[in-house]
Structure 1
């Protein structure tokens, strides 16, 4: 289960709406060894595409170094789907099954296909299979 603060989800949705009609992408980092996302980091979609996303490599290197310096790690990798449901695409599934994907990272998808309502869902890789997980949105972790 992904437990995440409402303020973080609101920032993810705002980023997705701002980048629409292109996919938005980013991460939410948290203390290393925890499962508590705390720091929102909007990334640049280097592809500038409505159907695909990829982190800008220079930006990712900088963010990765910042996380290392702050003893943080990626807890959530998010991206948006602009015209389809918040369900992994074939490209998403192929990446999630690749050796590059960290199975501990929550893969949060937000669909911006409806201008009035955002659909938010999260997935994990479990024993090589993509499994939807519950998303618990809380006001604070307190």
Structure 2
């Protein structure tokens, strides 16, 4: 179960809406299973079907996480027009071990956010708990 404070959850959904109709992407940092930081990243592909994070931004985020004693807990991206489930490309490119993959779908009137663990092509749905703090 991934625990996300409501303020970070709302920022993630706002990022997806602001980037529409393109996919947005980012990183969630924290400790154990609790998110405490969000990093909005640049989708260098500028596409509505896939994303690629800017490598220099990724390096800066990893450096900042380490400086704060945090870990990368999740990689997130949006699906502007499709459900919040991993596409074949999402599964193929899920190469970071030990992290969650969070997808925010804008296909419905209300955003739908889901989390998955993806290891070696196997996808497992993971619950999200929205917390007050």
Which bracket does the TM-score occupy, shorter chain normalised?
A: over 0.9
CA contact (8 A) 2:91 2:121 kept: no
| 1:86 counterpart residue number | 84
CA contact (8 A) 2:24 2:78 kept: yes
Q: Report the Cα offset of residue 35 of structure 1.
A: 2.0
Residue in structure 2 matching 1:50, options 48, 51, 63: 48
Q: Report the Cα offset of residue 135 of structure 1.
A: 1.3
Residues 1:2 and 2:17 are matched in the alignment: no
Distance in 1 between residues matched to 2:119 and 2:92, nearest whole Å: 14
Q: Report the Cα offset of residue 57 of structure 1.
A: 1.1
> Structure 1 residue runs of 4+, over 3 Å off?
none
Residues 1:132 and 2:118 are matched in the alignment: no
| 2:62 counterpart residue number | 64
TM-score by length of 2: 0.92
| 1:77 counterpart residue number | 75
Distance in 2 between residues matched to 1:90 and 1:126, nearest whole Å: 13
Distance in 2 between residues matched to 1:92 and 1:85, nearest whole Å: 13
Distance in 2 between residues matched to 1:128 and 1:51, nearest whole Å: 19
Q: 1:86-139 deviations in whole A, cap 9, x for unaligned?
A: 00001001122xxx321x21111010123x310111101357520011111121
CA contact (8 A) 2:92 2:121 kept: no
Q: Determine which structure has more spread, i.e. the larger CA radius of gyration.
A: 1
Q: Report the Cα offset of residue 71 of structure 1.
A: 2.0
Aligned length: 133
Instruction: Identify unmatched segments of 5+ residues in structure 2.
Output: none
Distance in 2 between residues matched to 1:128 and 1:59, nearest whole Å: 26
